Amino acid sequence: MKDNAWKASPAVEQGRRSVYIFAKRGLLPPLLTTFDLPDTTLPSCQRDVTTVPTQSLALLNNPFVHEQSAALAKRIGTKKERKEQVVHAWRSALGRDPRDAEVTAALAHLEKQTKTFAKRPTPDLDALASLCHVLLNTNEFMYVD
């Protein structure tokens, strides 16, 4: 119930950044609490920083992350050549062009996922969303070096 209540919040529906989310003390966004959401009842000059396994699990399983992967796939589009899709996905998610080995692995992933999703109405788009989901779960996406 809490997930659905948070998901329907105006900030999420309007595509706002989490900085602008109106937070009720009794109804905190589950995904953000996993990623060190500050305590809303206390003043704090510095945020705690932790890295725990539940963060990775949240990114793999959270419906919001899947929705964002699908949205990125739609933005990239399926009318382009697959290699162009891969390059566009890397640029959008990671801000750089993929290396040759990454392109090869991504094309193999798209091929395999397209076969897996063959019975769905949009197998190419679903395969691209799967690749985007992988990119949104990489260390490079999560951490700034």
- What sign results for the dihedral spanned by CA atoms 52, 36, 17, 46? negative
User: How confident is the model over 118-131, as pLDDT tens digits?
Assistant: 999 999 999 999 99
At 117, is the pLDDT very low, low, confident or very high (cuts 50, 70, 90)? Answer: very high
The interaxial angle of helices 53-61 and 63-76, nearest 10 deg, is 60
As beta bridge partners, residue 24 has 27
Contact (CB, 8 A) for 58 and 36? no
Q: Pick from 13, 20, 18, 46: which is nearest to 33 by CA?
A: 18
User: How confident is the model over 34-89, as pLDDT tens digits?
Assistant: 766 666 667 766 666 777 777 778 788 888 889 999 999 999 987 889 999 999 99
At 22, is the pLDDT very low, low, confident or very high (cuts 50, 70, 90)? Answer: low
More confident residue, 33 or 135: 135
Q: Is the pLDDT of residue 115 over 90?
A: yes
pLDDT for the residue numbered 5: 42
16/12 Cα distance (integer angstroms): 6
- 3-state SS of the chain: helix, strand, coil percent to 5? 60, 0, 35
Q: Is the pLDDT of residue 11 over 50?
A: no
**pTM, rounded to two decimals:** 0.71
Q: What is the CA radius of gyration of the chain?
A: 17
